[in-house]
Amino acid sequence: MALVVFNQKGGVGKSTIACNLAAISAVQGLRTLLIDLDPQGNSTRYLLGVPAAADQPTVASFFDQTLSFTFNPLPANEFVIDTPFDGLKVMAASERLDELQPKLESRHKIYKLREALQQLADSYDRIYIDTPPALNFYTRSALMGASGCLIPFDCDDFSRQALYTLLANVQEIRADHNPGLDIKGIVVNQFQPRANLPQRLVQELVDEGLPVLEPYLPASVKVRESHQLARPMIHLDSKHKLTQALWALHERLG
């Protein structure tokens, strides 16, 4: 199963959710890969502690190869590197993704990631894909190749307004390019159960029939420590309320 974590709005917790679900998958014994398509590389730093080294392969290396004709292209697994966590690997981000994007678009390489995911399916039980906060070439590539999509929502009215457009865009990609794409649901992040606004916004989404997933992920300062130490919550504090909510969400996804 390959899951895209996507929202066009930045700062909603895409990288945090993708990395923590991936870490839980690996702890459960599933062969797990995270693909970081965001040039900012937040997921890469979260899992490695540092950006990928200059001599390490990255997802940019993979896309770069697709621009050069060769009779023997390297398989997708050659662009995967280890993380410090057992069972969890990463296809790391690179700042070069920005400069590659117009070249990839002009050469119509939109389905190359789908081909890579098909190759990687034999090696991994779970693949999580972190995306840029934009519906650009990389996000479209991921949505065209993945089996599912998760949409983080951070209990903000601006996020809510953007949500409707986002859902329409994902539905269009599913209809035109990937009928197997399953919108797994909306992941409520940074939820404060005692605050009126988050409760109201989430309840309105539920009342509208949108696919809001439970449990809601609670707001926590502990996650900042997790980012700073480059240790997903399951490795930092397995009994923390946020860790338990992430674990329950992972179980919900099946």
Q: What strand order describes the sheet that includes 148-153?
A: 81-82, 88-91, 32-36, 126-130, 2-5, 148-153, 182-188, 212-213
Domain that holds residue 133: 2-181
Q: What is the model's pTM?
A: 0.95
Percent of the chain exceeding pLDDT 90 equals: 81
Please state the separation of Cα 167 from the chain's center in Å. Answer: 16
Per the domain annotation, does 175 fall within a domain?
A: yes
Per the domain annotation, does 174 fall within a domain?
A: yes
Per the domain annotation, does 47 fall within a domain?
A: yes
Q: Over the stretch 71-105, which tens digit does the pLDDT of each residue have?
A: 788 999 999 999 999 999 999 999 999 999 999 99
| Confidence category of residue 169, pLDDT binned at 50, 70, 90 | very high
Per the domain annotation, does 159 fall within a domain?
A: yes
Per the domain annotation, does 31 fall within a domain?
A: yes
Per the domain annotation, does 154 fall within a domain?
A: yes
Q: How many structural domains is the chain composed of? A: 1
Helix residue ranges per DSSP H, the chain: 14-27, 42-48, 59-66, 96-106, 112-120, 137-145, 157-176, 196-207, 222-229, 233-236, 241-253
- CA-angle at 160, arms to 169 and 11, nearest 5°: 85
Domain with residue 7: its CATH number is 3.40.50.300
Mean pLDDT across the chain, nearest whole number? 93
Per the domain annotation, does 172 fall within a domain?
A: yes
Q: Over the stretch 119-157, which tens digit does the pLDDT of each residue have?
A: 999 999 999 999 999 999 999 999 999 999 999 998 777
Q: Over the stretch 20-78, which tens digit does the pLDDT of each residue have?
A: 999 999 999 999 999 999 999 999 999 999 988 888 999 999 999 999 877 788 999 99
Per the domain annotation, does 198 fall within a domain?
A: no
Confidence check: pLDDT of 159 > 80: no
